[in-house]
Amino acid sequence: MHSAQSGGITNNDFPPERAQTNPEWLAGFDWPTIWSALDAKGVTWAYYYSNLPVIALWGARHARNARHVSDYYADCAAGTLPQVVFVDPFFVAPDGLANDDHPHADIRLGQMFLSDISRSFMESSAWSTGALFLTYDEWGGFWDHVAPLSVDDPRSSEAGHSAADFGRLGFRVPTQLISPYAAGGRVDHGLYDHTSILKFIETNWGLTPMAQWDPGTRDPGERNIGAAFTTAPNIEARDAFLGEPAYEAPAAANVPCAGHDTPVSDLFALVDNGWMETYGFRTDFPFADAYRTTLPILR
């Protein structure tokens, strides 16, 4: 979602680990990102995070545009959102608190977070010409009755990549488009993947294609998610939604499943070893600050 590729990495090794074989990655991954392309074009952007900044995997390169999610709420209210934004939830922490819908987090807290993010955008001045994509990297399991398709991956035939064909798409994940340019009341049955969102950004702002899409490593091509938009905006489409009470999660208990340790995001390893702090990223934000509404009392 940041760079349309993983640099050929097929596990969760982060820059400090990968630097053992790729010393140049000691300062973070070095391949281009969508943020690099936006900078080159002069398009404004920001990455809003709740506790763990994934963008820190590229070291200090994009740190200047990393902000806490509380700034997202403030920018929505003030009408100062940049042209392209990315919002991340509060990843599973050592104390078990999270709103990223990963086990063993209370999913009601995740839905409250999505409610806050969505309503803030829909109430902002960005609504009339904007779009918000809500998407997941997983859907709650690893099984799908629809077999994943394959797309062209030019690297699969290159030396050193014969056993790493990245052309296989994964299982389906839920994605929602919230925009006055979204055709409501329907499911789009087009074929998309996560890079389809990046392709839309690239096309919409006339960005120079990222290196990994030239000649076309998993280039979404016709899978540009812009195909899901309509040409006739419905500015009033939000009224019914905003007329409903904002979702508020009931008082929740943070109780780990019996017999299982509460999992912690792998990204915390980069907090523990000082990686993120070295590049100027703060990671000690309180859980309640991830919301714009009053957080229910956690019992």
pLDDT score at 151? 78
**What is the token pair recorded at 126?**
């960005």
Asked if residue 232 has pLDDT above 70, the reply is: yes
**Contact 151/116 with Cβ under 8 angstroms?**
no
| Chain centroid offset of residue 66 CA | 13
Beta pairing, strands 132-135 & 175-178? antiparallel
Residue 289, pLDDT above cutoff 60: yes
As to burial, measured by CB atoms within 10 angstroms (0-12 exposed, 13-18 middle, 19+ buried), residue 196 is buried
**Residues composing the chain:** 299
Q: Which residue has the higher pLDDT, 251 or 181?
A: 181
Residue pointed to by tokens 């998309």: 192
Identify the band that residue 95 occupies on the pLDDT scale cut at 50, 70 and 90: confident
- Which of 76-80, 190-194, 215-219 is predicted with the least confidence, judged by mean pLDDT? 215-219
Q: Directed axis angle between helix 107-122 and helix 69-78, to 10°?
A: 30
What pLDDT score was predicted for residue 155? 63
CB atoms inside a 10 Å sphere around CB 260: 9
Looking at per-residue confidence, does 257 or 65 come out higher?
65
pLDDT at position 162, please?
Answer: 47
pLDDT averaged over the chain? 85
Backbone dihedral angles phi then psi of residue 150, each to the nearest 5 degrees = -120, 145
CA–CA dist 33, 45 (Å, integer): 13
pLDDT of residue 299: 47
Higher pLDDT, 20 or 191: 191
How many CA atoms lie less than 13 Å away from 158 in the CB half-sphere?
A: 12
pLDDT reading at 212 higher than 70: no
Say which residue the tokens 């091509």 belong to. 221
Angle between helices 195-204 and 34-41 (to 10 degrees): 10
> What is the 3-class SS of the chain, one letter each residue?
CCCCCCCCCCCCCCHHHHCCCCHHHHHCCCCCCHHHHHHHHCCCEEEEECCCCHHHHHCCCCHHHEEEHHHHHHHHHHCCCCCEEEECCCCCCCCCCCCCCCCCCCHHHHHHHHHHHHHHHHCCCCHHHCCEEEECCCCCCCCCCCCCCECCCHHHHCCCCCCCCCCECCCCCCEEEECCCECCCCCCCCCCCCHHHHHHHHHHCCCCCCHHHCCCCCCCHHHCHHHHECCCCCHHHHHHHHHCCCCCCCCCCCCCCCCCCCCCCCCHHHHHCCHHHHCCCCCCCCHHHHCCCCCCCCC
Indicate if the pLDDT at residue 218 is higher than 50.
yes
Q: How far apart are CA 216 and CA 155, in angstroms?
A: 9
The pLDDT value recorded for residue 249 is 78
Span 236-241, mean pLDDT?
81
Q: Residues 123-155: pLDDT tens digits? A: 999 999 999 999 998 877 777 888 888 877 766
Q: Residues 42-63: what's their mean pLDDT? A: 96
- pLDDT band, residue 240 (cuts 50/70/90): confident
Give pLDDT, residue 198: 93
Distance CA(106)–CA(55), nearest Å, equals 25
Identify which of 142, 140, 138, 194 has the alpha carbon closest to the alpha carbon of residue 166.
194
Q: Between 259 and 36, name the one with better pLDDT.
A: 36
Among 119-123, 185-189, 253-257, top mean pLDDT goes to 119-123
More confident residue, 132 or 195: 132
144-184 pLDDT, tens digit per residue, is 888 888 877 766 555 454 445 677 788 899 999 999 999 88
Name the percent of the chain lying above pLDDT 90: 46
Largest CA distance in the chain: 57
